[in-house]
């Protein structure tokens, strides 16, 4: 999970305020789901880091900060390759 706020509309995420840094997923087996959701803020506001990454609710977060519906979203799955070292040639 990563959380960046106050991104100026004509720039990228590196110009925003990082509230929660990116943490790489560490799936050991099976399929891992990735979801990127973009909301439009009506103005700058103080946003607090969620205390718990597991079971984070995007819907509850958006409601807390009056963000409305997402303006964009991307969802995809990936699966870790078998074995302990990835693909071997």
Task: Please tell me the pTM assigned to this model.
Answer: 0.69
Write the Ramachandran bin of 85: left for phi over 0, alpha for psi from -120 to 50, otherwise beta: alpha
pLDDT in tens, 35-80: 889 988 888 888 888 877 778 888 998 999 999 899 999 998 888 7
Angle made by CA atoms 18, 20, 21, in degrees to the nearest 5: 80
pLDDT at 74: 93
- What gap in Å lies between CA 15 and CA 80, rounded to an integer? 32
Instruction: Look at residue 23 and tell me whether its pLDDT is greater than 60.
Output: yes
């Amino acid at each position: 999970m990563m959380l960046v706020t106050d991104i100026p509309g004509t720039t990228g995420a590196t110009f925003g305020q990082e509230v929660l840094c990116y943490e790489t997923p560490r799936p050991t087996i099976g399929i891992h789901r990735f979801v990127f959701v973009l909301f439009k803020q009506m103005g700058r506001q103080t946003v607090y880091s969620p205390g718990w990454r597991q079971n984070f609710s995007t819907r509850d977060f958006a409601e807390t900060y009056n963000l409305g519906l997402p303006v964009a979203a991307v969802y995809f799955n990936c699966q870790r390759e078998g074995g302990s070292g990835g693909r071997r040639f």
